Chains A and B, each alone.
Chain A
Amino acid sequence: MPLRLCAAVWAGKTVAALSRMLGYRGSSLPGHVALRIYSGTLKALARRARKGVVLVTGTNGKTTTNNMIAQVLTGAGHSVIINREGANMLPGIATAFVRGTGVNPAYAFDYAVLEVDEASFPRMVEQVKPDLVVVTNFFRDQLDRYGELDKTISFIREALRKLPRTRLVLNADDPLVAQLGRIGLKTGYFGLAPHGRVLDTSGASREARFCPLCGMNLHYSFYHYSQLGLYECTGCGFTRPDPELQGWEAVSGIEETTCRVALHGQDYRLALPTQGFYNLYNALAAFCAGSTLGLDPEMVVQNLRHYRPETGRLQHFRHHGRPLYLNLVKNPAGFNESLAILLAARGSKDVYIAINDNAADGRDISWLWDVDFELLADPNLGIARFLCSGQRAEEMAVRLKYAGVPPGRIKAEPKIENTVRDMLEGRTDAAYLLATYTALWPTEKALSALTDGK
């Protein structure tokens, strides 16, 4: 082991220990330090994966899909390194390796399972050659940081072209993702058959209108949500590939989401202990990845049944018996899916929305105007109060007011802890809390401190 790698790992580990002692989460700093000392740290440590490196990228569902893949791999007895906290740029990923490995090179592991920020993907694969790349979906997200979506996708496409031995797992229902199957790499697709909730039209129609390959109009038979659905190009004939792994008879309930899965002529029953239709996509992606890596499908299903959401991925809390659900929101597609969950829930509820505009949230918050808050104006939904918080609380209140929510039901208080306290005093059957990335941790912290826990 080169001395500089040794020093980098040691220094990274020291920083990680120190920041834990000081009460910081320290999800990127140790990696920063290690990379600064030795820029080849990532490359060298990733080579210690005995069986392979799995990268998960895309706009939404990266963290959940990544955690699910790690769960099915560890459930099958493999040792796994994972960047758990959603720290998905190079320093965050280096942190995962520094923490998960020792200075001694004999300290190896079976798999590295890493979620990678879309914009960081090309630089990441220069360092780490993945055996398997999973792409969840592509939505417009935080344009101020990434430039436009088309560009991001084309960078990923070019990066993949340089990886002839990498296998792909792609979402067949998203034309922006499925187009990557044309690169010629060995590809497995996952998808979802029509179910009770398919739509004839889609709000986020811009991405869905034109073929990513030839630019002609795309024709849709139906949409799952956003541009996900059954599509066919009127120009070049590009169409949804037949997925080898397909979910069907999907049902999204309050405590559980279920579907049947067809894989290689067999029928499996998938049940997830979480709400939200979009989580099925994450599970199908993980299932497809597991099957590609040679895992027994029955064992994959068993392990997914016990999946526990991470912080802010529809996490449950209880306060005096009242259920509280916390979910991360970061772009219109994901926000609309979060709204779908609370719209489907019976009973009275409070809604808490915390919007920050730090770099990790996206400094431009105008995407809030692309979220379908108009749906919340329906007076029969049983929503008692809308509590807006975070650095842009007032702006969120403006958005709700213009969506048609009566201003008397809206409150704006930038201080997160105060707003959480206020929310906890509510008398509704349940409360739904939605927060952007940097508003999530303080919200979670306040909830953990003030409630009976999970």
Chain B
Amino acid sequence: MMLAIYHLYPDLLNLYGDRGNIIAFRRRCEWRGIPVQVREINLGERIDFSDADFLFFGGGSDREQDLMAEDLADRKDNLRKAFEDGLVTLAICGGYQLLGRYYRTLSGQVIPGLNLLDFYTLAGTTRLIGNVAVEIPLPGRMVRVSGFENHSGQTFLGEIKPFGRVLSGHGNNGSDATEGVRYKNVFCSYMHGPLLPKNPALTDYFIQLALERRGRDGFLAPLDNGFEEAANRVMLSRLKVL
């Protein structure tokens, strides 16, 4: 069995080194001998989301996000079905905002989102920028991850769980200490960094979920995470949350 990574619109949405997330997922599969294939999906390409094992949406500038929203609008139902079916998805920043109900600009204009997840985003007057540390619940344990956020939109959650709790930084909106969203196996976050390379526990959890969705044993052989953990520790201790 081959795990299929679908990277959505790599030409459009690749701000802040987002492709590092793809690299991390792929490498950590390869190092364990799990066959993996990366497929880059560009505008207009017809795909069935349920064929994917790991779906990645990155961030982009406004113009590029509009193009992406347009392209996805008529495939919303296919995407919704895949989400309900447990497709492992990571959406960062712009890709995150797109999955929600709407984005309201400073002038009050409401730009509808794909409305797949229950949250909305309001344009803010100041950008929320900086290193961020977040505590994320994984089965049986809490992990502390670090990243870098850079967004002006402030996201507020409806009937949906956050991805994690902010220990340092702004998170979704700078006021309620939530960071990102989790719905089934869909994970959304404002953390660039990129997120997965220096947070290997998270990456491995995603791989495990993807394997289990295909009915495979989710056990993963342990890897040496020396550099990754050291890099994460540097930032957590700088943010005084270690």
Contacts and interface: CB of A to CB of B under 8 A. Distances in A.
Interface string B23-42: 11001000000000000000
A397 B19 contact: no
Contacts of A404: 27
Contact of A364 (B19, B192, B226, B234): B192
Interface residues of B, number: 33
A369 B227 contact: no
A366 to B, nearest CB: 4
A404 B148 CA distance: 24
Interface in A332-368: 363-368
Contacts of B231: 392, 394-395, 397-398
Given A143-B150, A205-B11, A402-B20, A366 B194 contact: yes
B71 to A, nearest CB: 15
Contacts of A367: 16-17
A267 interface: no
Interface string B112-125: 00000000000000
A355 to B, nearest CB: 11
B16 A366 contact: yes
A219 B103 CA distance: 33
Interface in A399-425: 399, 401-404, 407, 410, 412, 414
Interface in B165-220: 192-194, 197-198
B11 A366 contact: no
Given A394-B231, A398-B197, A402-B27, A364 B148 contact: yes
B17 A398 contact: no
Q: Does more than half of chain B's interface fall in helix, strand or loop, or is it mixed?
A: mixed
Nearest to B152: A147
B12 A206 contact: yes
A370 B14 contact: yes
A144 interface: yes
B234 A394 contact: yes
A144 B129 contact: yes
B228 A398 contact: yes
A144 B23 contact: no
Contacts of A206: 11-12, 14
Contacts of B131: 363
B230 interface: yes
Interface in B1-22: 11-12, 14-20
B9 to A, nearest CB: 10
A219 to B, nearest CB: 15
Interface in B64-83: none
Given A366-B17, A366-B192, A402 B11 contact: no
Interface of A: 143-144, 147-148, 150, 205-206, 209, 215, 363-370, 391-392, 394-395, 397-399, 401-404, 407, 410, 412, 414
18 contacts: A215-B63, A364-B16, A364-B129, A364-B192, A366-B194, A367-B16, A369-B19, A369-B20, A370-B17, A370-B19, A391-B234, A392-B234, A394-B227, A397-B230, A397-B231, A398-B197, A402-B27, A410-B227
Interface of B: 11-12, 14-20, 23-24, 27, 61, 63, 127, 129-131, 148, 150, 192-194, 197-198, 224, 226-228, 230-231, 233-234
